[in-house]
Amino acid sequence: MDQQLAIIVLAAGQGTRMKSATPKLLHPLAGSPIVAHVLRTARALDAAHVIAVVRHERDQVAAAVESVFPGCIVVDQDEIPGTGRAVEQAVAALPDDFEGEVLVLNGDVPLLDADTLSAFLARHRGRAAHASVLSARYDDPSGYGRVVRDADGAFDRIVEQKDATDEERAIDEINAGIYAFGAGALRDHLANLTTDNAQGEKYLTDVIQLLREAGSEVEAVPVSEPWLVAGINDRAQLSETAARLNALIVRGWQLGGVTVEDPATTWIDLDVRIEPDVTIRPGTQLKGATVIATGAVIGPDTTLVDCEVGENAEVKRTDATLSVIGPEASVGPFSYLRPGTVLGRDGKIGAFVESKNATIGEGSKVPHLSYVGDATIGEHSNIGAGSIFANYDGVRKHHSEVGSHVRTGSHGVFVAPVRIGDGVYTAAGTVVRKDVPAGALAVNVAPQRNIEEWVQKHRPGTAAAKAAEAAGEASGSASIDASAD
């Protein structure tokens, strides 16, 4: 642990440009709130003290901070606005004798990585500077504070957009809002900040100015790639940042041995885990804590949320949440796996099948057009096309059980709760309301009656009646009857 390092994460701002009921810092990015990315980076730097400053929607933001980083100290900013006030209140929460470095991070700058920050901090410490500022050159610097340099190119000061002259606004080097300070120098000057500026805020950038006036050394350090310090202020920047992060994540998995056929249409959350030799086909989203084992082929057009997929499984054109797909199993196309689906090794969930809270054992298949809800199916059973597990009596859900090596006919209805024993057959169109013992054939279909010439009598003149008459003439009989030959 770096005993000489304290990190302050600024997370009190309102984020009005998102135009959202959700606090800006809690909008999701690769499966985690924006601020969680910054907190992960802070954790990677292993600082002795990490403080997040909250105010806007403080309960929601504080809860998110505590869930991703339990040891983080949460400080509430009072009604005095500005980045300077936020840092002032955070510093007050540090031990009085802390004399190391204070690194200030922005809660809405999620792509800045721990390696870049370590290098920045090492440079700051190496020069024994009182403050260092990360900067970037932007084609469109509007909205940011600008870094003003002197004739020799040395750092002079930072000017806020709203306080800048036209000439200063033409500068393309911006203040990224990421700083390293010596704790003592920072404490000395925070106390002297005022709200005497265009925004009526305590500017953290004024500490830089006060340091300069006191003859202290300040350096602005440009980042290698401007996107590293890109902030998220509106939803356009959110999607740009998400695309950038996704490209990095996809590339990481590609270099780790995963085939991703179309990176542009493949979205992978940060917490997903994928083994080598997985193939991901176009239009696939892997979300949450999804885990994919080697040899699996996922997609095209598949969304998996918090799923576990076994070795060599195939999942195509599928939407699945909180489901387990066993090794060698096959799912899709057009399958909908809702929470609690567990498909065993070599099992199958086929086209237009919906499942929920259903365990389908090894080698068992639900190939076509079925609903399996609240059911346990044993091993090597086959559920006929168009089967429904009727789990809901209008008030409560009930569970059904099907044994192993069962063959159910097409268009069966299993009215829960019901138990179907091992080796059972059911006839097509059976509504199973009673338990079926092992080895039985269940039939409850009424015998079929054919009422001869019903169509000609009751639907005269229709196309159907004409077709029936034509068929009768062709066979030399009014009805189709084997005995007529």
Of 98, 120, 144, 179, the one binding ligand UD1 by CB under 6 A: 144
Using Cβ positions, the residue closest to ligand UD1 within the complex turns out to be 145
Tokens matching residue 423: 């080796």
Site for ligand UD1 in 405-464 (CB under 6 A): none
Whether the ω angle into residue 417 lies within 30 degrees of 0, i.e. cis, is: yes
Site for ligand UD1 in 223-252 (CB under 6 A): 231
Is 77 a binding residue for ligand UD1 by CB under 6 A? The answer is: yes
How far is residue 413's CA from residue 138's CA, in Å, rounded to a whole number?
Answer: 64
Interface pattern 148-167 for ligand UD1 (x via CB under 6 A) = ----------x-x-------
DSSP string, 180-206: EEEHHHHHHHHTT----STT-S--THH
CB 428 within 8 A of CB 403: no
| Phi, psi for residue 230 in degrees, rounded to 5 | -65, 130
Is 23 a binding residue for ligand UD1 by CB under 6 A? The answer is: no
With contacts defined by CB under 6 A, name the span among 201-209, 360-368, 373-381, 417-425 that binds ligand UD1. 201-209
Number of residues that bind ligand UD1 (CB under 6 A): 26
Cβ proximity to ligand UD1: between 177 and 344 the closer is: 177
Is 203 a binding residue for ligand UD1 by CB under 6 A? The answer is: yes
With contacts defined by CB under 6 A, name the span among 8-16, 57-65, 267-275, 281-289 that binds ligand UD1. 8-16
How far is residue 131's CA from residue 431's CA, in Å, rounded to a whole number?
Answer: 77
CB 63 within 8 A of CB 87: no
Of 53, 64, 221, 274, the one binding ligand UD1 by CB under 6 A: 53
Site for ligand UD1 in 325-364 (CB under 6 A): none
| Phi, psi for residue 471 in degrees, rounded to 5 | -65, -40
Least CB distance from residue 28 to ligand UD1, whole Å? Answer: 17
The single residue of 368, 380, 398, 405 carrying the catalytic annotation is 368
What DSSP designation does 482 have?
G
Whether the ω angle into residue 333 lies within 30 degrees of 0, i.e. cis, is: yes
Query: Does 398 participate in catalysis according to the annotation?
Result: no
Tell which residue, 228, 290, 227, has the closest CA to residue 258. Answer: 290
CA distances from 120 to 99, 112, 125, 173, 423 (A): 19, 11, 9, 17, 69
Cβ proximity to ligand UD1: between 90 and 274 the closer is: 90
Site for ligand UD1 in 93-112 (CB under 6 A): 106-108
Binding site for ligand UD1 (CB under 6 A): 10-13, 53, 77, 81-83, 85-86, 106-108, 144-145, 158, 160, 174-177, 203-205, 231
Active site residues: 368
